[in-house]
């Protein structure tokens, strides 16, 4: 097989040039990082789980008319996605207080918020992805006012979809992060959901027990991260499409 060109390697994924112009192959690694990569581990099977879960959520979003970059699954660790121009923002939606919001505002983790709250962080690892306001976004030209309207609408639709899907399997969607990409279609451009949606980028708590089923298991040393993600996949009926154990296949060049 022809050697593929690596375009970018991030903390949890590698992007390769896709087979057609405007496509990308997104490879999910087993690497787990937290606290801006100060804490690191390789967790066997995490990439396979996130690949399947992100495929599941993105496919569902596409089906209800929320546009995403997802085109099709390629194998246990790879999916074909549309090439996008990433907006340099992490878009966070919160339904319950947790994490940095609890720290910043002194609100107990788990407190239900009066309504979903959307926050924006500037995507820059060297700065620790700082929280920014719409004023910063407009002034520095990271997104236009029309983009911000579209981003808010996408974020709230993703929140409704994800909250409903997770509620259906006894899980509370506490918060999540998405990234948004710009695509050009002829004379038009539009914004679509990009990157990934997985337990790496959401807070997911069991409704009955409060057990954490997301990356906080790794961040806070609460047990096996892959067991937690496997439980999410099991409840959703999206165990990896293989009866073999979730081990790391050889990276195809
Ligand atoms: P917090 O601001 O409380 O740390 O995170 C809020 C939500 O966004 C959590 O679900 C968290 O997992 C997600 N999140 C925030 N920053 C990042 C990031 O850099 N990477 C990933 N994967 N998720 C993030």
pLDDT range class, residue 239, cuts 50, 70, 90 = confident
**Residue 202 near ligand 1, beta carbon < 6 Å:** yes
Closest C-alpha residue for ligand 1 atom 22: 201
> What's the CA dihedral at 102, 106, 107, 108 to 10 degrees?
80
Determine the atom of ligand 1 nearest the C-alpha atom of 198.
Answer: 22
Cβ–Cβ < 8 Å for 8, 19:
no
174: pLDDT strictly greater than 90: yes
What pLDDT does residue 66 have? 98
Task: Indicate the average pLDDT of the chain.
Answer: 94
**Residue 200 near ligand 1, beta carbon < 6 Å:** yes
pLDDT range class, residue 250, cuts 50, 70, 90 = very low
Which fold, 4-84+226-239? Phosphorylase Kinase; domain 1 (3.30.200)
What pLDDT does residue 4 have? 87
Question: Which one, of 212, 84, 207, lies nearest residue 154 by Cα?
Answer: 84
pTM flag (> 0.85): yes
Position of tokens 């789980």? 49
Class of 85-206 per CATH?
Answer: alpha beta
137: pLDDT strictly greater than 80: yes
For residues 22-47, give the mean pLDDT.
96
**Residue 147 near ligand 1, beta carbon < 6 Å:** no
Taking every pair of Cα atoms in the chain, the longest distance, rounded to a whole number of angstroms, is 54
**Residue 150 near ligand 1, beta carbon < 6 Å:** no
Whole-angstrom CA distances from 13 to 97, 201, 221 are: 28, 13, 22
> What's the CA dihedral at 195, 236, 102, 130 to 10 degrees?
0
One-character DSSP codes across 93-133: EEEE--HHHHHHHTPPTTPEEEEEEEEEEE--GGGT--EE-
All structural domains of the chain with their residue ranges: 4-84+226-239, 85-206
Find the helix packing angle between 46-63 and 225-236, rounded to 10°.
30
**Residue 216 near ligand 1, beta carbon < 6 Å:** no
């Amino acid at each position: 097989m022809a050697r593929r060109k690596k375009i970018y390697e991030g903390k949890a994924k590698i992007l390769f040039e896709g087979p057609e112009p405007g496509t990308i192959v997104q490879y999910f690694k087993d690497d787990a990082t937290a606290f801006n990569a100060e804490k690191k581990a390789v967790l066997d099977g995490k990439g396979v789980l996130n690949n399947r879960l992100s495929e599941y959520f993105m496919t569902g979003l596409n089906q209800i008319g929320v546009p995403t970059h997802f085109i099709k699954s390629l194998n246990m660790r790879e999916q074909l996605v549309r090439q996008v121009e990433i907006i340099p923002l992490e878009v966070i939606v919160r339904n319950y207080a947790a994490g940095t919001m609890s720290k910043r505002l002194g609100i107990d983790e788990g407190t239900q918020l009066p309504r979903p709250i959307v926050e924006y962080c500037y995507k820059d690892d060297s700065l620790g992805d700082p929280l920014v306001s719409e004023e910063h976004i407009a002034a520095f030209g990271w997104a236009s006012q029309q983009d911000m309207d579209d981003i808010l609408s996408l974020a709230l639709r993703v929140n409704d979809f994800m909250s409903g899907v997770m509620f259906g399997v006894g899980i509370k969607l506490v918060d999540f992060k998405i990234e948004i990409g710009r695509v050009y279609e002829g004379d038009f451009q539009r914004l679509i959901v990009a990157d990934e949606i997985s337990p790496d980028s959401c807070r997911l708590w069991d409704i009955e027990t409060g057990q954490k089923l997301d990356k906080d298991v790794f961040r806070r040393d609460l047990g096996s991260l892959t067991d937690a993600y496997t439980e999410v996949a099991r409840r959703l009926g999206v165990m990896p499409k293989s009866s073999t154990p979730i081990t790391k296949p050889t990276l195809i060049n």
